[in-house]
Structure 1
Amino acid sequence: MTAFDLHVVFDCADPDRLARFWMAALGGYDFPVGVPDGFASWEEWADANSIPEEDRNSGRTLVDRERSRPDIFFLRVPEAKAGKNRVHLDLKVAPGLDGADRRERIEAESARLVELGASVAQRFAEEDGFHLIMRDPEGNEFCLA
């Protein structure tokens, strides 16, 4: 059987903002291409090349520095998110921990992500372990476990 590369794609209203959130949330990701020589920013480049405002920030890409995780794409779409995600990301922030240590690690990471623009949707303290359902700045659900 053929193996395929996997890319994760987010439809969103603000690709740059969401890409920067996930870059900070996940760590180890960067934008794949630097600003062209002679320009201080992509905005400066877009101005110099007469790129209309409505065509800017239509998409962003993140690549893992180690190339061990999938690329993540953020594509601007006109419609807002509606309903619960059918697929979501689970961030394993407390591997090998249990009990109070697990909860403390998850809560600490949750606080960091809230500072970046996420929100806590639900807390679960179940027999198999504590975990959180969170939302990124555009409302996409993800779990901290």
Structure 2
Amino acid sequence: MTVAFDVHVVFDCADPDRLARFWMEALGGYDFPFGIPEGFASWDEWADANNMPVDQRNAGRTLVDQERDRPDIFFLQVPEGKAVKNRVHLDIKVAPGLDGDDRRTKIEAEAERLIALGATVAIRHEEDGFHLVMQDPEGNEFCLA
């Protein structure tokens, strides 16, 4: 018997809202699953009305794909910072089907867009097909290929 499971991607982080907003822009097509509840001008107003303590308001965020069928992404606040290299990372394929200079140009352009959002380039791999190892605003590695 074969069992198929849903898969969700989970990031432990210091600031779930900031990291969720970075990845929402980085990946495109993702958004928060629902908007501000009717009758409220902001989530903080809703939280105040529901007596939610301020220190619990950024405990987590969820992103769902609004355009395709990619996994949900969760961002959970943890007290400790990232200390070592990720054991799992995302590969973002920004240049499928491209080779040589066209591929490099597409990857470099996407890297510049992500740098403007708060990412950094960690490693440039020139051998075995050009790709970049980057870090999101909290230092989590991901690849652009």
Q: TM-score range by the shorter chain?
A: over 0.9
Report deviation, 1:67.
4.5
Measured in 1, the distance between the counterparts of 2:136 and 2:60 equals 17
CA deviation vs aligned residue, 1:5-60 (integer Å, no higher than 9, x gap)? 00000000000000000000000001001110011211121122221111111000
What is aligned with 1:135?
A: 135
The 5 Å alignment of 1:25-104 reads 25-104=26-105
| Equivalent residue, structure 1, for 2:118 | 117
Partner of 2:24: 23
Residue segments in structure 2 that go unaligned for 5+ positions in a row? none
- State, as a whole percentage, how many aligned pairs show the same letter: 77
Give the RMSD, CA atoms, in angstroms.
Answer: 0.8
Once residues 40 and 120 of structure 1 are traced to their aligned partners in structure 2, the CA distance between those partners, rounded to angstroms, is: 38
In the other structure, the counterpart of 1:12 is 13
Partners of 1:44 and 1:114 in 2: how far apart?
33
Q: What's the secondary structure of 1:117's corresponding residue?
A: coil
Distance, in Å, in 2 between the alignment partners of 1:59 and 1:67 is 23
CA distance in 1 between counterparts of 2:64 and 2:136 reads 19
Instruction: Give secondary structure in 2 for the equivalent of 1:129.
Output: coil
Measure the CA separation in 2 of the matches of 1:76 and 1:40: 25
The 1-side partners of 2:3 and 2:67 are apart by 23
Give the SS at the match of 2:45. Answer: helix
Higher share in strand:
1
The aligned length equals: 144
Query: Gaps spanning 5+ residues in structure 1: where?
Result: none
Match in the other structure for 2:144? 144
Q: Which runs of 4+ in 1 moved over 6 A?
A: none
TM-score normalised by structure 2 residue count: 0.96
